[in-house]
Amino acid sequence: MRKHPQRKISYLLIFFALDVIVCVFTAMFLLIYTPEPGNKSFDHDLDIDDQNIYNNQFLNKLNITESKWSQKIRFLLQESFLAYFSTCQNSDYLQPISRNCMNSSGLSLTTIESLEALYISGLRDEYLVASNFILNDFHFTSNSFQNFHEMGTKVLGGLIGIYGLTSNYKYIEKAIECADLMLISFSNSIPYPLINGKKSKPIKYDFFNGNFLSESSGFILEFTALSKITGNNKYISFVEKYLSCVNSLINNEKTFPSFLSVDKCSVIGDHRGFNGFTFSFIANVIRLHLYSPNKITLELVDFIINYFSRFTSSSTSDQFLKNEDLKNSFDSSFCQLTHLLDNLKLNLHTINRQNANINRVRHIDNVNEIPANINNDDDHSDVNFDTTHYEIILEKFQKILKSVCNSFSVFSESDSASKSFFSNKEMNFYYGSDPLVNYIFSGKELDQLRILNIFDRTKCDSAQCALISQNPILYDDIMPSESLGKWLKFLFLAYSSVDNDFVINEAGHLIPKIII
């Protein structure tokens, strides 16, 4: 018997209705349970345990406490990161005013430099979004014009820094990729300044066949740390060749050469001395010595401290700036030394104590001799290191350097300091982040309201502009990667103890002293 056509239509309508109901419930389920960017579903992809972010051994030692201050800094971090990442995650920088993106390397510098700050401040969702991007979607060979110095200090330093906090070895695997690409910069002892990531080839500057002493040193701490973490001496061997070359050139010149050849171990031109082309080298050698002292770092530190003695006769900032070895070429990079020298003086005190103890046991007459077993690194017992004499030099030099840096820092006690800085046209001074870091680690009680007012003045929409924007005439439409990776991070760490377990690299990343 044939079914009635109307009954068949009824069955179809019922089936269609049930199908619609199933689709509606499915859509509702997906709407409710589909993960949004940054939620805990990233944990599976990243192999990160669902744990309290402050249970890490290093974070516990930092003594981070919750307060209105930390809440305010956390909010600034979160707001600035989201403003950048939502628009410019594949670029280095956000331009907050124009809402454009800007590149210097194409290596997503702000994302990499934000990792430590996001993790330390407890911004778990934002950290997981950034981490997922770096570990899964980021590639070092995506750009044809990459800066060797930025790759070493910002990228490699950032990856080692976040590994030191999380113990996630995937960051070291990424760091190895970065370091292996950087190795193509070496045809000799001195690295090329630029890298073509797409073709894996080094690039020279158009204007000279070499590299700046400061720029060329932006790997010595990071490569040393990577070798210690991985147990692969490949990376530290390049550090040793580089330092051996530069040490010989410095001893021949009796000063710091500004420009070095990338083809052979030699100096280019006559520009020498204490200047922006050489100063970061001095700071990076001190950082390396604090991290892993050995015979060659001792020799270089010996030369550096004796070089400082040329400035200790200066009793005023003006005398310091007019010194023949400086020649009015003061640069903001100089100010990174004020905090480093505090740690170096502590290091000298340690050497003094070790010398005294060993001399008492061995009855050694020469109290300035450093015994061979003072470090686990190279034997440096033949290096004379008069620590008492050096402490006196460092004390005098640091006093005048602090005076100069404070004279041109908006974080100094004088409200007129920023006016003095901006009005001084004789000096090559681009305001960086080091005066802020020095202020944070000065040991003084921080003027929180003053700091937050300064950051309010650098506010560009929902992000932070360059600190130079504190002068409305010099308004930079850019949020540097340092705004998250250095300024706000160290403000969050203002009341913590960082130096016990980390060496702070040139870009402000926390290189762990203890290998985990």
CA–CA separation, 493 vs 182, rounded Å? 31
**E strands, 25-175, in order:** 93-95, 100-102, 146-147
What pLDDT is stored for residue 299 in this prediction? 94
CA–CA separation, 188 vs 150, rounded Å? 20
- How many Cβ atoms sit within 10 Å of the Cβ of residue 455? 21
What pLDDT is stored for residue 176 in this prediction? 98
Q: Where does the pLDDT of residue 373 fall: very low under 50, low under 70, confident under 90, or very high at 90 and above?
A: very low
Instruction: Looking at 134-231, list the stretches that DSSP marks H as alpha helix, in order from N- to C-terminal side.
Output: 148-150, 157-166, 170-182, 213-216, 220-230
What pLDDT is stored for residue 491 in this prediction? 84
CA–CA separation, 283 vs 285, rounded Å? 5
Half-sphere exposure at residue 455, Cβ-oriented, CA atoms within 13 angstroms: 21
| pTM score of the predicted model | 0.80
**79-110: pLDDT as tens digits:** 999 999 999 999 999 998 888 999 888 899 99
379 pLDDT exceeds 60?
Answer: no
Q: Between residues 466 and 218, which one has the greater pLDDT?
A: 218
Q: Between residues 238 and 58, which one has the greater pLDDT?
A: 238
Q: 261 - beta bridge partners?
A: 210
**Domain 35-512, CATH class in plain words:** mainly alpha
Q: What ranges do the domains of the chain cover?
A: 35-512
What pLDDT is stored for residue 216 in this prediction? 97
Classify residue 129 as exposed, middle or buried by CB count within 10 Å of its CB (0-12, 13-18, 19+): buried
Q: What are phi and psi of 107, to 5 degrees?
A: -105, 25
pLDDT (average), residues 171-182? 97
**18-54: pLDDT as tens digits:** 444 434 443 333 333 333 333 333 333 344 443 344 4
Six token digits for residue 13: 């309508």
**211-257: pLDDT as tens digits:** 999 999 999 999 999 999 999 999 999 999 999 999 999 999 999 99
Per cent of the chain over pLDDT 90 is 41
Classify residue 151 as exposed, middle or buried by CB count within 10 Å of its CB (0-12, 13-18, 19+): buried
What pLDDT is stored for residue 461 in this prediction? 76
**100-139: pLDDT as tens digits:** 999 888 899 999 999 999 999 999 999 999 999 999 999 8
C-alpha distances in Å from residue 205, one per residue of 200, 217, 218, 390: 16, 17, 17, 38
